[in-house]
Structure 1
Amino acid sequence: MLPVNIYGPDGKREVLAIFGEGSSVSIMETGVANLIAAKSDVHPLTLQWYDDKMVTECVHGKKFNLPEQSLRKENFDNLKDMPILNYYRAKPDSFGVNPLPQKIESDEENRARSNLQQTTRKMGHQYEVGLLWKEYPPKLPESIHGGKAFVDSGKNNGRRRRVSCAFPDAVSTIINTHYVDDLVASFNEAEEAVRICQEIFRINRHAGFELRNFISNYREVEEIMNQQPTSPEREADSMFHRVPQGVLNRTRAPTKRKLLRIVMAEFDPFETWESEIEWDNILPMELGRKWLQWWQEINSMKQFTIPRCSSQHVANMGKVEVHMFVDASQVAFAAVGYLRALHEGNVDVSFVMGKPRTAPTKLMSIPRLELQSAVLGTCLFKLFQESHELTIERAVFWSDSPTVLQWIHSSQRKYKAFVGHSISEILTSTAPYQWRWVPTAQNTADAATRPSCPPIFDINNRWVKGPDFLMYHEQYWPTLTLQPEGVVPEEITTEAILLVQPCNSVIHFSIFGSFSKLRRTAAWVLRAASLFRKQPNSEVNPSTSLSVTEIDAAENMICKLVQRECCASEISNLAAERKLSKRSSLYKLSPYVDESGVLRQSGRIDEAAYLPYQARRPILLPPEHAVSALVVKDVHERNHHQNIAVTINAIRQRY
């Protein structure tokens, strides 16, 4: 008996079901069927027990007069670790499935629940809870997910209800914006930020956690929060504090170790890892020159700022759109997103997020790299949706690759695995009509796919500002009519057509001089095959001589091989219960395939019940085949070379 979910017009219900290994039908009580509004006919049910006990009832969820039974799970190896209760002389009161009264819990879960109830106590504004998995002797479980769930349900539920009533905004901020031990939140007003942060501070302090080192882009908020007695003044920290000042001031060249200590904080723009320079050697002159240019531009990044407020129109309930641009080259592929807000004829376009990635070291075609950038743009859009509470009325994805757009808009899915899986990932979160074409000159993601040394930090570049056409009405946006010939032929999977030519039989019948030798050879082969496939408990004839049954089985196998070699189409039609063509040579013989797969003749001679089955239903063999000649020769010799009439009569007794 196991818990299962059943579905119906009224939804899903969790019930208990009895599974039988040999069951061929599913039975449900009327009461359970009513829970999900399932409608079906009522049929009588007959239950037969041992000692010839039998009960016949209609399946209405009634009680059945079933015998008593007992279960002790320790007697079954496969049930020892299952959350099943032992029972003794229990009498089943119903058959089928019953509504699940409560969730089945393991012994570890029951022990954790008991420890939680017995050890939880309130100490001031905090709670003390014993070890949920504690037992004697101590034994740690493989997983503490059950204990964590109990802590959440036992400690948090009661306290959360009280805290949620007092500080609803603070609780919502903690639940939605807390990441490990960091709290990252945004607010519309400075007063709101101070109020909610102070409430969050109180909630965490009551639980024994002290929040400190508040950082804000609004100086007044930061000063107010850091004036708390438990929040020391924040100290400035640098990402490159371990690098010598002489290197940072460009008064001396760095070593490979010091250079990578800086650049690997982001990525390696110089591909130093490919060089053969030792770690503590001074960089070559050419690489040192690139480093000086790069570091000088990095220092200018301090003046690079991006407005935190996307648009004032968002707060005014304006129309919000997200536009994602994707592009790729042999060096990198990237995606960048912009927020387009419209309100009373005013349009604001603001940078939201961007993500460049270096191209794989393994050479890939440009269409595939463009497809990877489309996947990256889809992932960024999903991240934006999960991270913002804005109501997005429209999302548009832009690419300058007609090939990728053709793949996404194509209704045929005959692509290779890489392309097919990428398209599937894209279409899981987006629709084909959301993807549009943009010229390369207006594709802002193109800026991240072209390497520049040193990098240029300019707040007026198109990566930050976005394309100009987004400021205008949609009728002025770029368009392109996709053509079918835009598909890359090598990315389409070719359908393989295999032509199978029927070969000769696996047995060369012409090498045998007698039908008797052919039968015995085939019988020995069949016995060998049985020995090779022998199961541990199967029985195989250990005798050194062949039995009559083995010889008959070999003869049937020979006849089937001959028939499939010469009458394959007729056998196929008969197996599919189709009529034979009148042009077939077997049409007038009323052929059929018996239970052994042998093709036989049927006719009015079936009325002669006194004749043996072989004579009334003879096996059909082609007249010109080598096996037919061996059969005639064998019968002629066994009849001591008598005349033709005697030989034909003897053959007709079986063939």
Structure 2
Amino acid sequence: MLGDSYPAAVRRFQQMEKRFFIDDHLRKSYSEFMEEYERLGHIELSPVASRSPQFSFTSMPSSVQRVRPQKYHIQPALFATIINFRLPRFAISADAEKMFRQMWVHPDDRKFQQILWRNNPSEPNRKYQLKTVTYGLASSPFHAARVLNQLATDEGHRFPLAVPVIRKGTYVDDVLRSTKSGGFVFRKWASNCKTVLSQVPEELWETSADLELDRSQAVKTLGLLWFPHQHDVFKIKVPALPELEVVTKRIVVSEMSQLFDPLGLLGPVVVSAKMFIQSPWAAHISWESELAKEAAVWWKKYRANIKELIPLQVPKRVLWNKDTERQYSVHCFCDASQKGFGCCVYIVSLDEYGQLHSHLLTSKSRVAPLRGKLIPRLELRAALLGSQLVHCIRTDTNITGPITFWTDSTIALHCIKSRSNSWKVFVSNRVAEIQRLTKDAQWMHVPTDLNPADHISRGLLASQIIYDKLWWHGPEYLTFPANVSDFDAE
């Protein structure tokens, strides 16, 4: 049923060999990689010629190129995993290193994992069968997540506290708040608690034993830089952009994608770039055409301003009560403008001294459509986006606190609190969805100058956002002493 892919595999392998003539480093990397696999016994020559599915070896070895996995529903979304990581006071990260090399394929199924290889073009093509689960494929993240989920099922009765960690604290083979069983060796351990690390052999640490002395060392956690011993904060990995003479649409799109922000902590900065690229995109400018002088000047200013993010520190921890994590509330702010619309979510928690703290948790943004830029409709779309984001948080993370939604649009607020079938189709559909997603929450009005989502609907430069208290902590009234009564005195 799968057909015969051997001819296609031959063509793809021949294309790879042409690249080897150009790039000798690439050829050596592939050869060393295959030699290692043979030495470890992870591949074997196919016993007989068959017409079962074959594929050429096209994934780069990890020494040449890091393969980024795709998202699968069996594993939580990346942003949900990081949000769960920010909730507890003490945190752990680890990596199930070489997991795929420990996952063996049944001999009857190895015929479905065949590759072609030869050391040089003068040799005949050799057919190999992979004996272990292959990494670097589109399905590889599923394999890793599926094995870890099965591990939680098989060993959950022995380690009940580890089950939610595997279910919601794992992304591919990176484990946040981890335990060990099933034969996998977890490496690259890091924690903001020295007691935890003292239970792990030093050779399995992410960094050396001098980490406590050199507090500048960072731990890479799912694309973020985590400094567990330097105030327990995240820092943004700012891309090093080269000098630029000509600005084209291709360059802009390429550079704006290099600022990795899975939680939307830099939402106003990222959406500024999205708003900027909308005009040349709508004008159907080709990828290699130089942008207008005014647009080129703006982009050069924007990319130079990105360096202002280097000293930025974002607290990993967003809950502040050391005894219970239930004394907190969730606040989602929504806003729209002619340029775009978006929402941002804050966690307000009570510490052991009775003081309230508010921290940005995540945000989402959208660029306004080229047509139909009616502000009331955009405000309603912003409210819907906020409803969807909070629903996703409540579904995929461990956050269960009471929720309040805020908007500075009295029109949107009136629509949301009215019957959905009293409006025309566009408004009626969105109001009905908002009411369904937020039936257990309340909607409130916030003045425009106190609405942090105003930043994400209009955009900011990096130098403007880095010290903006409204963006990072929300309006001050969230932490007024009068709000302490809203929490249960447990």
Relative to the length of structure 1, the TM-score reads 0.41
- Matched-pair identity in %: 25
Supply the AA of the counterpart residue of 2:367.
Answer: T
2:165 match: 173
Deviation of the 1:425 alpha carbon: 0.9
Contact 1:290/1:454 (<8 A) preserved: no
Deviation of the 1:169 alpha carbon: 3.5
2:176 match: 185
Supply the AA of the counterpart residue of 2:253.
Answer: L
Indicate yes or no: 2:281 matched with 1:290: no
Contact 2:275/2:339 (<8 A) preserved: no
Indicate yes or no: 2:330 matched with 1:322: yes
Ranges in structure 2 where 5+ consecutive residues have no aligned partner = 1-101, 112-142, 209-216, 224-236, 259-269, 485-490
Deviation of the 1:314 alpha carbon: 6.1
How far apart are the structure 2 equivalents of 1:433 and 1:126? 45
Change (3 A) 1:459 1:416: same
Match for 1:423 among 431, 442, 446?
431
Deviation of the 1:389 alpha carbon: 2.3
Give the 3-state SS of the residue equivalent to 2:250 in structure 1: helix
How far apart are the structure 1 equivalents of 2:483 and 2:150? 56
Give the 3-state SS of the residue equivalent to 1:349 in structure 2: strand
2:386 match: 377
1:443 match: 451
Change (3 A) 1:259 1:365: closer
Cα shift readout 1:73-102 (whole Å, capped 9, x = no counterpart): xxxxxxxxxxxxxxxxxxxxxxxxxxxxxx
Give the 3-state SS of the residue equivalent to 2:449 in structure 1: helix
Give the 3-state SS of the residue equivalent to 2:276 in structure 1: coil
Indicate yes or no: 2:413 matched with 1:405: yes
Deviation of the 1:354 alpha carbon: 1.4
Contact 1:396/1:436 (<8 A) preserved: yes
**For 1:502-521, what aligned pairs fall within 5 Å after superposition?**
none
Deviation of the 1:163 alpha carbon: 2.5
Match for 1:311 among 305, 319, 325?
319
Contact 2:238/2:310 (<8 A) preserved: no
Change (3 A) 1:273 1:159: closer
Q: After alignment, is 456-465 or 302-311 more displaced?
A: 456-465
Indicate yes or no: 2:342 matched with 1:302: no
**For 1:44-123, what aligned pairs fall within 5 Å after superposition?**
none
1:270 match: 276
Ranges in structure 1 where 5+ consecutive residues have no aligned partner = 1-124, 135-150, 187-195, 477-655
Cα shift readout 1:485-521 (whole Å, capped 9, x = no counterpart): xxxxxxxxxxxxxxxxxxxxxxxxxxxxxxxxxxxxx
Deviation of the 1:460 alpha carbon: 3.2
How far apart are the structure 2 equivalents of 1:276 and 1:126? 48
Match for 1:465 among 433, 448, 473?
473
Contact 1:212/1:226 (<8 A) preserved: no
Deviation of the 1:358 alpha carbon: 0.9
How far apart are the structure 2 equivalents of 1:316 and 1:230? 29
Indicate yes or no: 2:224 matched with 1:227: no
Change (3 A) 1:305 1:220: farther
Contact 1:378/1:429 (<8 A) preserved: yes
Query: What RMSD, in angstroms, separates the aligned Cα atoms of the two structures?
Result: 4.5
Match for 2:366 among 351, 357, 360?
357
Contact 2:305/2:461 (<8 A) preserved: no
Indicate yes or no: 2:243 matched with 1:246: yes
Change (3 A) 1:212 1:270: farther
Deviation of the 1:369 alpha carbon: 0.8
Deviation of the 1:459 alpha carbon: 3.3
Between 1 and 2, higher relative CO (CA 8 Å, sep ≥ 6) is seen in 2
Cα shift readout 1:386-430 (whole Å, capped 9, x = no counterpart): 3432441x2111111111111122246221111111111111122
Cα shift readout 1:38-82 (whole Å, capped 9, x = no counterpart): xxxxxxxxxxxxxxxxxxxxxxxxxxxxxxxxxxxxxxxxxxxxx
Cα shift readout 1:243-288 (whole Å, capped 9, x = no counterpart): 6x333xxxx4444433331024465443243456554455443223
Change (3 A) 1:338 1:401: same
Number of residue pairs the alignment of both structures matches = 313
Supply the AA of the counterpart residue of 1:431.
Answer: K
How far apart are the structure 1 equivalents of 2:342 and 2:202? 39
How far apart are the structure 2 equivalents of 1:230 and 1:308? 18
1:641 match: none
Contact 1:314/1:341 (<8 A) preserved: no
Supply the AA of the counterpart residue of 1:419.
Answer: V
Contact 1:300/1:457 (<8 A) preserved: no
Cα shift readout 1:304-353 (whole Å, capped 9, x = no counterpart): 22111113226445621111111111111111111122356421212111
How far apart are the structure 1 equivalents of 2:296 and 2:430? 40
Deviation of the 1:166 alpha carbon: 4.1
Higher CA-based Rg: 1
Deviation of the 1:356 alpha carbon: 1.8
